[in-house]
Amino acid sequence: MRDNFVLSKLKNKTIKIFKNGKDNFYHRSIKRIRKLWTEAFLKRGDKVAATSRNIEAYKDLAEQYPDSFLPISLDITNREAVFEAVNKAKNYFGNLDVVINNAGYGVFGAVEEVGEKVTKDVFEANVFGTLWVTQAALPIFRAQGSGHVIQLSSVLGVWSLPTLGIYNATKFAVEGFSEALATEVKDFGIHVTMIEPNGYTTDFGGSSAVHGDAIPAYDALKSSLGEAEGLLPEDYGKPEATVPAILKLIDSENPPLRLFLGKVGLRKTERVYAEKLQVWNDWKEVSEAAHG
């Protein structure tokens, strides 16, 4: 799923949302969440530019909000086209306040099962698409002295789940460059936020997902995943509940670097990081001896 958006002046903010081919660039194939967010922005008077390879998907919104909604046809993996699209949104609305990178579709399979093309394609979309949009927005934000880059990451950019390792890798990559970016641009008045949702009742594992070539040796592992934390039925949130959170985030004068959406993220992260710290401490003497 490859979608994105930009806003321009919330409550007269300008929001740009980026969408692209294999579906929409939202965590877990979030077509539904993308639509909920876009409608919430427009209803309260924000100006929104949204990109997609198929802008027909936005026909109803374009008709309902002709002066405040701009659909733009875009392949988000084309860096030159991304820069053109971001500048088109800025020129159309006159400013750009928020860029939301919802780049991300799912790839399922053990690391050994996912081939070269599938791996490269998902990195092109999830990582490089997000990077190109971010790079295109930064000169505009620097010139304005303000702006907010929102990366739709995932709890799977904080910790991993088996058979989602390649998808994990893309989200870890986005988290890595976005954390560095936040420090690089803070003195320009630019904020960076990584949204880290847990699972939601969308089609992440359905039509938008890509699967590796199955190897029977991993069948037993896969059959047990339904009992894994983060994949239990009660671990999936309701997309509608994310709307107040995204509005509060983009209205904040001091937005956080990271924001979990849902109940699973913080709970599991506290345990995962405690385990990591324990292992590092257990091997502290070896680590320090290696310093020389």
Of the candidates 84, 204, 222, 210, the one whose C-alpha atom is nearest the C-alpha of residue 163 is 222
Q: Which residue among 58, 65, 105, 167 is the active-site one? A: 167
Report CA torsion sign: 116, 122, 123, 125: positive
* CB-CB contact of 47 with 98 (8 Å): no
C-alpha 125/C-alpha 18 separation (Å) is 11
* R_g (Cα) of the chain, nearest Å: 19
Distance set, CA 146 to CA 41, 175, 193 (Å): 19, 21, 14
Element (H, E) at 100: strand 98-103
Q: Quick one: angle between helices 165-185 and 130-144, nearest 10? A: 10
Catalytic residue among 9, 47, 90, 171: 171
Distance CA 164, CA 155 (A): 12
Q: Catalytic pick from 29, 52, 68, 153? A: 153
* 53 DSSP 8-state letter: S
User: What is the phi/psi pair of residue 202, to 5°?
Assistant: -125, -170
> In 10 A of CB 35, how many CB atoms?
18
Q: Is 167 a catalytic residue?
A: yes
Identify the sign of the CA torsion 217, 222, 224, 225.
Answer: positive
Report the distance separating Cα 166 and Cα 109, nearest Å: 8
Active site (catalytic) residues: 153, 167, 171
